[in-house]
Structure 1
Amino acid sequence: MLRAIIVDDEPLSVKRLNRILSESGTVEVCGAFLSPLEACQYAEENPFDVAFLDISMPEIDGMSLSERLTELHPSIHIVFVTGYDEYAVQAFEMNALDYLMKPVTAERVARTLDRIRSRPAAPAPEPLFAVRLFDGLRLFRQDEERILLKMRSPKTEELLAFLIYRRKVSREEIIDTLWGGLEPEKAHKNLNSTLYYIRKAISGAQLDNPIKTYRKEIWIEEKHIVCDLYRFGRLVKQIRQGQGTAVLPLIEQAVEWYTGPLLNGKGYEWADAYRRQLEREYTQLLELAGKIQLERGERESALHYFEAILKLDPLREDVSLEAIKIYIAVGRMNEAIRHYYQLEQLLQQELGTQPDPRMAEMIRIAIR
């Protein structure tokens, strides 16, 4: 049985297509989404065979969504569904399997399903090279065995991490960054030999090599790699394109991917600025999630995000103010008072200042 998802911002269209597919007896609708962002989140974690996509949607149009979905699942079939036939040529330029006009009919959907079944089955996906750069550096083969990859030396690890971070970079920049103190000839030899040992470790794990070279450039071919840094970056981009509470599931997923500072404990100076940037982005996501949860009346959930921010930056008085408001609102007075006094002591030690007087006033009023 085919597994399908439907993405359309019109509830009636989703309901109609869901019914037709379910009644076909050959399709399991495993997800029906009004929000493309929620569909992306689902696709990150779940397999499926075919996606029925509306083309004209407010958050992400169907064309862009199809690119994101096929990036995650290269073998899926894409079927566009729309009320405007002027998109037909563009749809087939995107290599869509089919194009359905609204309102869809059972007969027309049946022909689409026949086309899907007539296609040869896609081969089982090859295991991918998995890289985790947050909170250290971990390398393994992403399959049931999860074989760990060991690099030959710390410099081999550093070169691999640098290539994944930069994605595409010149040999000269690599040498300036990693072998800046050596004579040019020796530096080039070190680069070539270190590349050789990286490729040897990857091929030894029976993985496709993601490192490509041409003349003076070296780059990472992302289709052969699963990287937490890349996943986090894509989610941040989707969140920035989204609106309102619809982005909350994506924020939650991005927060899960960010398990700690970039390359934590490795001491790579070239990563310092980017590490700080990522931490700022992570903090901004926590803050946005906290505000969304407050708007929804979910105080405890909002508090979870505000407390996570304060673990990173305990001097954030604006966040402490929000946290104390929530402690008081949910009846956790002792924690409100304890938080205030801890902040007071910390500000005095670090900055020689006192907390925002609004905090003390809120507590004073609450304990009357």
Structure 2
Amino acid sequence: MRVILVDDERLALLQLTKMLEKMGGIDVVGTYLNPIEAIEWIGELRPDAVFLDIHMPGIDGLKMAVQIQENCPAIQIVFVTAFDQYAVQAFDLNALDYVMKPLHMDRLGRAVQRLQDRVRGDVNVTVSSSPQSVLIRCLKTLQFEMPGQKSERLKWRTSKAQELFVYLLHHRGRVIARDELLELLWPDFEERRAAAQLYTTIYQIRQSLQRNEVGSVTINSGSLTDGYSLDTSTVRIDTEEWEHQLKQLDSPEQHTIDKHESLFNQYTGDYLSDYDYLWAEHERERLRRLWLHHAQNMIRFYTRQGMHSEAIRINLKIQQLNPVFEESYFSLMKLYDLSHHNAAVEEQYMLLTETLKRELDSRPDDRVAQWYQGWKSEGLVYNR
């Protein structure tokens, strides 16, 4: 696993480098005192993760993380800092972890384990990717696809059974402590009653899986800890396969655009978006960023090729799945301007204004508003 480290303190960089190298499986491919220099090299080095301090001169770690995610959304961010007051902001940015200084091997080790689990997910796809395996679909809604059959939803005895299964699937391969499950699903129950509900629900899930011939997915009881884990080693999972294939592709070119189109269309909706599970939001946002970054690369390719109708199609699909993504409206305004569809430019700006007001009680970004006002007053082609 390839990582880079960014910290304005040389001793802190040396300490973190030594600690990571002791753990094994970590290749520190770059250490940087200057965050601007690190940003310049990230695209070249293509690390799996960045270990990032927050308080640095020039650009702080939070702003740097935003730039990294905009340009390379597949890279994982681990903040390493002496300040605990930024944790909420860090996790709002979908950071994988937030490790406090002074560093301790056990705490850093847990962060590395989480990172390895995330990165290893791509590798494990090749183990269970046989087309004869059961495919679990997590994009938009939970479905199961048996070999040679259409995808179908399972009928669960209760909504708690469904959420418990999905939570274990979300944390597949890890033992989830019983207390964590009780707090998640039955927070208002007395412990004994909540435990009874948990045991009953686990039994119901196992019965549902057997009844629907999904016996390859099993729930295991932790042998050393009081908890449960979901074994999905012999099945396929659509999000893992999609992300794995996406990372194998370089930027869109004429000879690869069909593969890019296929992956773009496989994204049928956000991760578990049919459910209001707050605990899934981090992964939902991470995968959404990957898809949007991929879509924008395709738009840039089609625009360079003069294939404006194709670029417009991609933008319209983005609006369908993510109606508050402002960049899609701006891109469409410029594309319609190039095609001299003035009414369509007006329509996109009005639609953006109404959507932001309704959904976020906000207004278009200044650069979008200025572009629109300039286009409207001067009648120029503003494709900048």
The TM-score normalised by the length of structure 2 is 0.54
Residue of structure 2 in register with 1:290 after alignment: 299
C-alpha separation between the residues in 2 aligned to 1:237 and 1:183?
Answer: 46
- Residue identity in the other structure for 1:365: L
For the 8 Å contact 1:199–1:209, the answer to whether it is kept is no
Residue of structure 1 in register with 2:24 after alignment: none
- Which of residues 207, 218, 229 in structure 2 aligns to 1:200? 207
- Which of residues 91, 107, 130 in structure 2 aligns to 1:73? 130
C-alpha separation between the residues in 1 aligned to 2:123 and 2:323?
Answer: 42
- Which sits farther off after the overlay, 192-201 or 255-264? 255-264
C-alpha separation between the residues in 1 aligned to 2:159 and 2:357?
Answer: 42
Alpha-carbon displacement from aligned partner over 1:97-133 (angstroms, at most 9, x marks no partner) = xxxxxxxxxxxxxxxxxxxxxxxxxxxx4x62x4333
The equivalences for 1:138-287 within 5 A come to: 138-139=143-144, 141-144=146-149, 149-167=154-172, 168-172=174-178, 173-213=180-220, 214-215=222-223, 216=225, 217-239=227-249, 242-245=250-253, 248-287=257-296
Change (3 A) 1:145 1:233: closer
For the 8 Å contact 1:136–1:263, the answer to whether it is kept is yes
C-alpha separation between the residues in 2 aligned to 1:277 and 1:147?
Answer: 25
Task: Quote how far apart the aligned CAs of 1:290 are.
Answer: 1.3
Structure 1 residue ranges without an equivalent (≥5)? 1-64, 75-124
- Which of residues 293, 297, 308 in structure 2 aligns to 1:299? 308
**How many pairs were matched up?**
249
Q: Give the 3-state SS of the residue equivalent to 2:205 in structure 1.
A: helix
C-alpha separation between the residues in 1 aligned to 2:194 and 2:334?
Answer: 58
- Residue identity in the other structure for 2:188: G
Residue of structure 2 in register with 1:135 after alignment: 140
Task: Quote how far apart the aligned CAs of 1:323 are.
Answer: 1.6
Residue identity over aligned pairs, in percent, reads 19
Q: Does 1:334 align with 2:349?
A: no
For the 8 Å contact 1:140–1:149, the answer to whether it is kept is no
The equivalences for 1:36-47 within 5 A come to: none
Task: Quote how far apart the aligned CAs of 1:162 are.
Answer: 0.8
**Between Structure 1 and Structure 2, whose CA radius of gyration is higher?**
1
Task: Quote how far apart the aligned CAs of 1:159 are.
Answer: 0.9
Task: Quote how far apart the aligned CAs of 1:164 are.
Answer: 1.1
Task: Quote how far apart the aligned CAs of 1:291 are.
Answer: 1.7
Q: Give the 3-state SS of the residue equivalent to 2:236 in structure 1.
A: strand
Q: Give the 3-state SS of the residue equivalent to 2:168 in structure 1.
A: helix
Task: Quote how far apart the aligned CAs of 1:274 are.
Answer: 2.8
For the 8 Å contact 2:269–2:321, the answer to whether it is kept is no
Alpha-carbon displacement from aligned partner over 1:146-200 (angstroms, at most 9, x marks no partner) = 6753221111111111111111232333233223333444333332322221111
- Residue identity in the other structure for 1:178: L
C-alpha separation between the residues in 2 aligned to 1:66 and 1:225?
Answer: 14
Residue of structure 2 in register with 1:361 after alignment: 374
Alpha-carbon displacement from aligned partner over 1:200-235 (angstroms, at most 9, x marks no partner) = 122123332312423235333334333333333333
For the 8 Å contact 1:235–1:251, the answer to whether it is kept is no
Residue of structure 1 in register with 2:318 after alignment: 309
- Residue identity in the other structure for 1:222: T
For the 8 Å contact 2:128–2:234, the answer to whether it is kept is no
- Which sits farther off after the overlay, 345-354 or 296-305? 345-354
RMSD: 3.6
Q: Give the 3-state SS of the residue equivalent to 2:346 in structure 1.
A: helix
Task: Quote how far apart the aligned CAs of 1:347 are.
Answer: 6.3
C-alpha separation between the residues in 2 aligned to 1:261 and 1:302?
Answer: 21
C-alpha separation between the residues in 2 aligned to 1:67 and 1:313?
Answer: 30
